[in-house]
Amino acid sequence: MPPAFRNKGYKEGISLQIWSDPTCDSTMDIELKVDYLGSLGKLWMRYRTLFAAFPLLVVTLAIRKQFSVYDRTGVYMSFSESMNQCIRSSLPVLFVALTCLSMYFATASEAVLHNAPSWSSGWGANGTATQLDFAINDLLLGSQDSFFWFLIPLFGVACAGICIAVNYVTLLITYAFAFVYRKIRAIPARADDGRYAI
């Protein structure tokens, strides 16, 4: 969860308050349900830049692998083969590095916020202070909490899977068009004199 609009307690997270009539002596039933589709939609909207940047990074690494193999051997490998090699070598290293950097920056930015002078810690401390600090969520995930370190490799694996799926769907569409084109080319054309011409 992003920090509250007026940040009283950053570490509170979500809190529920239940108000009831103290004179009414009855039991209260509370039922919480998870809205899975709504949660997926909010997940997509919150991390949409991450879902745009990670596939671009994965495809760039795969193309880099294709060019490096071509420079060494003279053979241009397919995207599937280069993704296979990237999954074995460079992608895990990249995800570990991004996770460590994200945790380091979260710890460093939290230390900066705790060491800030008292006159600059609240909104309205002076006449020029802004109500919202847009630089507060400037990390990869948009959150300064290092608790969610596992989201970076999770989204990285998901984006690599998306790239592989898009590659296979594109290959399937290409093969379908090639099959239809080959069948159309196999139909003999009728000449003007009534004979078949090939």
Query: Is 1 contained in some domain?
Result: no
Tokens of 123: 């909104």
Query: Is 11 contained in some domain?
Result: no
What domain count does the chain have?
1
Most distant pair of Cα atoms in the chain: their distance: 102
What confidence score (pLDDT) does residue 27 get? 81
Query: Is 127 contained in some domain?
Result: no
Query: Is 4 contained in some domain?
Result: no
Query: Is 163 contained in some domain?
Result: yes
66 closest CA partner among 56, 57, 74, 77:
77
Query: Is 102 contained in some domain?
Result: yes
Q: What is the C-alpha to C-alpha distance for residues 68 and 61, in angstroms, rounded to an integer?
A: 10
Query: Is 173 contained in some domain?
Result: yes
The sign of the CA dihedral 100, 106, 110, 111 is positive
Contact 99, 152 (CB under 8 A): yes
What confidence score (pLDDT) does residue 143 get? 65
Within 8 A by CB and 6+ apart from 3, the residues are: 10, 136, 137
pLDDT tens, per residue, the chain with 198 residues: 555 555 555 555 567 778 888 777 778 788 888 899 888 888 778 778 888 888 999 999 999 999 999 999 999 999 999 999 999 999 999 989 988 888 887 777 666 555 555 444 444 444 454 555 555 555 566 666 677 788 888 888 999 999 999 999 999 999 999 999 999 988 886 655 555 555
- Residue-range definition of the domain harbouring residue 97: 36-115+140-187
What confidence score (pLDDT) does residue 124 get? 45
Q: Is the pTM of this model over 0.95?
A: no
Query: Is 31 contained in some domain?
Result: no
